[in-house]
Amino acid sequence: MDKKILTIQDISCFGQCSLTVALPILSASGIETAVLPSAVLSNHTAFSEFTFCDLNDQMPSIRNSWENQKISFSAVYTGYLGNAKQIDFVKDIMQSRLDAAGVKIVDPAMADLGKLYTGFDEAYVEKMKELCGIADIILPNITEACLLTGIPYKDSFDKDFVEKLISALKDRFKAKIVLTGVGVKNGTTGVAVFDGACTQYYEHTKIGLGSHGTGDVYASAFTGAFMHGKTIFEAAKIAADFTVLCIKATEPEHWYGVRFEKCLPDLYNMLK
Protein backbone atom coordinates (compact mmCIF):
# COMPACT_ATOMS: atom_id res chain seq x y z
CA MET A 1 0.00 0.00 0.00
CA ASP A 2 1.26 3.49 -0.85
CA LYS A 3 2.31 5.64 2.09
CA LYS A 4 0.45 8.77 3.16
CA ILE A 5 2.04 11.40 5.34
CA LEU A 6 0.42 14.22 7.31
CA THR A 7 2.47 17.32 7.97
CA ILE A 8 1.30 19.78 10.62
CA GLN A 9 2.79 23.28 10.54
CA ASP A 10 1.95 26.86 9.62
CA ILE A 11 1.31 28.46 6.26
CA SER A 12 3.38 31.57 5.70
CA CYS A 13 1.64 32.96 2.64
CA PHE A 14 4.86 34.63 1.45
CA GLY A 15 8.38 33.42 2.20
CA GLN A 16 9.70 29.97 1.43
CA CYS A 17 9.17 28.04 4.65
CA SER A 18 6.82 25.71 6.53
CA LEU A 19 3.98 24.23 4.46
CA THR A 20 4.91 26.04 1.25
CA VAL A 21 8.22 24.17 1.46
CA ALA A 22 7.08 20.89 3.02
CA LEU A 23 4.27 20.06 0.59
CA PRO A 24 6.28 20.33 -2.66
CA ILE A 25 9.36 18.62 -1.22
CA LEU A 26 7.39 15.69 0.21
CA SER A 27 5.44 15.39 -3.02
CA ALA A 28 8.65 15.39 -5.05
CA SER A 29 9.81 12.54 -2.81
CA GLY A 30 6.94 10.46 -4.14
CA ILE A 31 4.89 10.52 -0.94
CA GLU A 32 1.17 11.38 -0.90
CA THR A 33 0.99 14.34 1.46
CA ALA A 34 -1.88 15.77 3.50
CA VAL A 35 -1.57 19.05 5.36
CA LEU A 36 -2.98 20.41 8.59
CA PRO A 37 -2.20 24.12 8.96
CA SER A 38 -1.50 25.24 12.51
CA ALA A 39 -1.65 28.95 11.68
CA VAL A 40 -1.78 31.36 8.75
CA LEU A 41 0.78 34.17 8.53
CA SER A 42 1.04 36.87 5.89
CA ASN A 43 4.78 36.08 5.72
CA HIS A 44 7.27 34.48 8.08
CA THR A 45 8.47 36.16 11.25
CA ALA A 46 11.86 37.26 9.91
CA PHE A 47 10.08 40.09 8.07
CA SER A 48 9.67 43.46 9.80
CA GLU A 49 5.93 42.85 10.22
CA PHE A 50 3.52 39.97 9.79
CA THR A 51 -0.07 38.99 10.47
CA PHE A 52 -0.81 35.85 12.47
CA CYS A 53 -3.99 33.81 12.86
CA ASP A 54 -3.86 30.51 14.73
CA LEU A 55 -6.23 27.74 13.64
CA ASN A 56 -6.95 26.31 17.09
CA ASP A 57 -10.70 26.33 16.45
CA GLN A 58 -10.47 24.54 13.11
CA MET A 59 -7.99 21.80 13.92
CA PRO A 60 -10.31 19.64 16.10
CA SER A 61 -13.06 19.72 13.47
CA ILE A 62 -10.62 18.59 10.78
CA ARG A 63 -9.42 15.76 13.00
CA ASN A 64 -12.99 14.66 13.72
CA SER A 65 -13.87 14.66 10.03
CA TRP A 66 -10.89 12.43 9.29
CA GLU A 67 -11.89 10.07 12.08
CA ASN A 68 -15.44 9.83 10.74
CA GLN A 69 -14.07 8.95 7.31
CA LYS A 70 -11.48 6.54 8.72
CA ILE A 71 -8.59 8.51 7.21
CA SER A 72 -5.23 7.55 8.67
CA PHE A 73 -1.57 8.15 7.89
CA SER A 74 1.74 6.30 7.61
CA ALA A 75 3.56 9.17 9.33
CA VAL A 76 2.94 12.50 11.02
CA TYR A 77 5.65 15.14 10.60
CA THR A 78 5.37 18.35 12.62
CA GLY A 79 7.10 21.69 12.16
CA TYR A 80 6.26 25.18 13.43
CA LEU A 81 3.15 25.09 15.61
CA GLY A 82 1.11 28.16 16.45
CA ASN A 83 1.06 27.89 20.24
CA ALA A 84 1.44 25.52 23.19
CA LYS A 85 -2.24 24.58 23.17
CA GLN A 86 -1.84 22.97 19.75
CA ILE A 87 0.72 20.48 21.04
CA ASP A 88 -1.94 18.55 22.96
CA PHE A 89 -3.99 18.39 19.78
CA VAL A 90 -1.01 17.17 17.75
CA LYS A 91 -0.36 14.43 20.33
CA ASP A 92 -3.97 13.32 19.95
CA ILE A 93 -3.63 13.24 16.15
CA MET A 94 -0.52 11.09 16.46
CA GLN A 95 -2.25 8.67 18.78
CA SER A 96 -5.54 8.46 16.89
CA ARG A 97 -4.88 8.92 13.16
CA LEU A 98 -1.60 7.06 12.68
CA ASP A 99 -1.54 3.57 11.23
CA ALA A 100 -0.40 0.80 13.57
CA ALA A 101 3.21 1.09 12.40
CA GLY A 102 3.00 4.83 11.82
CA VAL A 103 6.04 7.05 12.37
CA LYS A 104 6.08 10.23 14.47
CA ILE A 105 8.64 12.78 13.24
CA VAL A 106 9.03 16.03 15.20
CA ASP A 107 11.00 19.07 14.13
CA PRO A 108 10.82 21.14 17.35
CA ALA A 109 10.88 24.38 15.35
CA MET A 110 11.02 27.02 18.06
CA ALA A 111 14.49 28.59 18.24
CA ASP A 112 17.85 29.26 16.59
CA LEU A 113 21.09 31.09 17.30
CA GLY A 114 20.49 30.88 21.04
CA LYS A 115 17.03 32.52 21.01
CA LEU A 116 13.40 31.46 20.91
CA TYR A 117 11.40 32.54 17.88
CA THR A 118 9.02 35.47 18.24
CA GLY A 119 5.90 34.50 20.23
CA PHE A 120 7.36 31.49 22.06
CA ASP A 121 8.26 31.25 25.76
CA GLU A 122 9.44 28.71 28.34
CA ALA A 123 5.92 27.29 28.65
CA TYR A 124 6.05 26.42 24.96
CA VAL A 125 9.42 24.73 25.47
CA GLU A 126 7.91 22.56 28.22
CA LYS A 127 5.05 21.49 25.94
CA MET A 128 7.49 20.75 23.12
CA LYS A 129 9.34 18.42 25.48
CA GLU A 130 6.07 16.47 25.82
CA LEU A 131 5.73 16.17 22.04
CA CYS A 132 9.35 15.05 21.63
CA GLY A 133 8.65 12.52 24.37
CA ILE A 134 6.28 10.54 22.12
CA ALA A 135 8.26 11.02 18.88
CA ASP A 136 10.09 8.29 17.00
CA ILE A 137 12.51 10.76 15.40
CA ILE A 138 13.37 14.31 16.49
CA LEU A 139 15.26 16.90 14.42
CA PRO A 140 16.43 19.72 16.70
CA ASN A 141 19.09 22.26 15.88
CA ILE A 142 21.75 23.07 18.48
CA THR A 143 19.67 25.81 20.16
CA GLU A 144 16.58 23.61 20.35
CA ALA A 145 18.61 20.70 21.72
CA CYS A 146 19.91 22.98 24.46
CA LEU A 147 16.39 24.12 25.34
CA LEU A 148 15.08 20.55 25.37
CA THR A 149 17.86 19.30 27.65
CA GLY A 150 18.61 22.33 29.83
CA ILE A 151 22.23 22.43 28.66
CA PRO A 152 23.43 26.06 28.30
CA TYR A 153 23.77 27.22 24.69
CA LYS A 154 27.19 27.93 23.18
CA ASP A 155 27.93 30.00 20.08
CA SER A 156 30.93 27.78 19.35
CA PHE A 157 31.40 24.19 20.44
CA ASP A 158 33.42 21.04 19.93
CA LYS A 159 32.58 17.38 19.40
CA ASP A 160 32.45 16.75 23.15
CA PHE A 161 29.65 19.31 23.45
CA VAL A 162 27.73 17.65 20.62
CA GLU A 163 28.15 14.24 22.26
CA LYS A 164 26.87 15.71 25.52
CA LEU A 165 23.77 17.02 23.76
CA ILE A 166 23.13 13.71 21.98
CA SER A 167 23.53 11.80 25.25
CA ALA A 168 21.11 14.12 27.07
CA LEU A 169 18.55 13.89 24.26
CA LYS A 170 18.83 10.07 24.22
CA ASP A 171 18.29 9.86 27.97
CA ARG A 172 15.29 12.18 27.95
CA PHE A 173 13.34 11.28 24.83
CA LYS A 174 14.13 7.68 23.77
CA ALA A 175 13.82 8.79 20.13
CA LYS A 176 16.19 8.56 17.22
CA ILE A 177 17.93 11.89 16.75
CA VAL A 178 19.04 14.05 13.85
CA LEU A 179 20.90 17.01 15.36
CA THR A 180 21.39 19.76 12.79
CA GLY A 181 23.80 22.68 12.59
CA VAL A 182 26.70 20.55 13.84
CA GLY A 183 29.88 22.27 12.76
CA VAL A 184 32.82 21.23 14.93
CA LYS A 185 35.48 22.31 12.43
CA ASN A 186 36.01 25.80 11.05
CA GLY A 187 34.14 26.33 7.80
CA THR A 188 31.96 23.23 8.13
CA THR A 189 28.47 22.33 9.26
CA GLY A 190 26.44 19.14 9.15
CA VAL A 191 24.45 16.69 11.25
CA ALA A 192 24.93 14.16 14.02
CA VAL A 193 22.63 11.16 13.67
CA PHE A 194 21.78 8.72 16.46
CA ASP A 195 19.97 5.78 14.86
CA GLY A 196 19.15 3.93 18.07
CA ALA A 197 22.48 2.11 18.18
CA CYS A 198 25.29 4.54 17.38
CA THR A 199 26.01 8.14 16.40
CA GLN A 200 27.29 9.01 12.94
CA TYR A 201 28.40 12.38 11.59
CA TYR A 202 28.05 13.95 8.17
CA GLU A 203 29.80 17.26 7.49
CA HIS A 204 30.06 19.54 4.50
CA THR A 205 31.37 23.01 3.75
CA LYS A 206 29.38 25.79 5.37
CA ILE A 207 27.98 28.22 2.82
CA GLY A 208 27.55 31.83 3.93
CA LEU A 209 25.84 32.79 7.17
CA GLY A 210 22.74 30.65 6.68
CA SER A 211 19.40 31.30 5.03
CA HIS A 212 15.81 31.55 6.23
CA GLY A 213 13.75 28.41 5.78
CA THR A 214 16.65 25.98 5.43
CA GLY A 215 15.54 24.11 8.56
CA ASP A 216 12.17 23.43 6.95
CA VAL A 217 13.83 22.42 3.68
CA TYR A 218 16.09 20.03 5.57
CA ALA A 219 13.36 18.48 7.74
CA SER A 220 11.02 18.02 4.77
CA ALA A 221 13.72 16.45 2.59
CA PHE A 222 14.74 14.18 5.46
CA THR A 223 11.16 13.07 6.05
CA GLY A 224 10.58 12.46 2.34
CA ALA A 225 13.78 10.42 2.00
CA PHE A 226 13.10 8.41 5.16
CA MET A 227 9.53 7.61 4.13
CA HIS A 228 10.87 6.73 0.67
CA GLY A 229 12.74 3.86 2.35
CA LYS A 230 16.15 5.30 3.14
CA THR A 231 17.84 4.61 6.48
CA ILE A 232 17.86 7.46 8.98
CA PHE A 233 21.51 8.25 8.17
CA GLU A 234 20.97 8.01 4.41
CA ALA A 235 17.97 10.33 4.72
CA ALA A 236 19.96 12.78 6.86
CA LYS A 237 22.77 12.85 4.29
CA ILE A 238 20.40 13.32 1.33
CA ALA A 239 18.63 16.15 3.16
CA ALA A 240 21.95 17.87 3.90
CA ASP A 241 23.13 17.58 0.30
CA PHE A 242 19.79 18.85 -1.00
CA THR A 243 19.79 21.82 1.38
CA VAL A 244 23.29 22.78 0.22
CA LEU A 245 22.12 22.69 -3.40
CA CYS A 246 19.19 24.96 -2.50
CA ILE A 247 21.48 27.49 -0.83
CA LYS A 248 23.83 27.47 -3.82
CA ALA A 249 20.87 28.09 -6.15
CA THR A 250 19.85 31.21 -4.21
CA GLU A 251 21.07 34.73 -4.95
CA PRO A 252 22.43 36.72 -1.98
CA GLU A 253 19.69 39.35 -2.35
CA HIS A 254 17.01 36.65 -2.04
CA TRP A 255 17.28 36.84 1.74
CA TYR A 256 13.90 35.49 2.88
CA GLY A 257 14.28 31.86 1.74
CA VAL A 258 16.11 29.50 -0.58
CA ARG A 259 15.15 28.68 -4.14
CA PHE A 260 14.43 25.04 -3.41
CA GLU A 261 12.05 24.80 -6.38
CA LYS A 262 14.97 24.79 -8.81
CA CYS A 263 16.47 21.79 -7.00
CA LEU A 264 13.47 19.47 -6.79
CA PRO A 265 14.67 17.44 -9.81
CA ASP A 266 17.96 16.88 -7.96
CA LEU A 267 16.08 15.55 -4.92
CA TYR A 268 14.10 13.20 -7.16
CA ASN A 269 17.36 11.87 -8.62
CA MET A 270 18.96 11.47 -5.17
CA LEU A 271 16.11 9.20 -4.13
CA LYS A 272 16.41 6.86 -7.11
Q: Where are the domains of the chain?
A: 4-270
CA-to-CA distance for 192 and 178, rounded, in angstroms? 6
pLDDT at 166: 97
Per residue in 83-123, pLDDT (tens digit) is: 999 999 999 999 999 999 999 999 999 999 999 998 899 99
The CATH number of the structural domain formed by 4-270 is: 3.40.1190.20
Is 186's pLDDT higher than 80? no
Per residue in 174-183, pLDDT (tens digit) is: 999 999 999 8
pTM score, whole prediction? 0.95
Mean pLDDT, the chain, whole residue set: 94
Where do the H-state alpha helices sit in 5-151?
19-28, 59-68, 85-97, 122-133, 142-149
Per residue in 2-52, pLDDT (tens digit) is: 899 999 999 999 999 999 999 999 999 999 999 999 999 999 988 999 999
CA-to-CA distance for 37 and 49, rounded, in angstroms? 20
Give the model's confidence band at 209: pLDDT under 50 very low, under 70 low, under 90 confident, else very high: low
Percent of all residues in the chain with a pLDDT value above 70, rounded to a whole number: 99
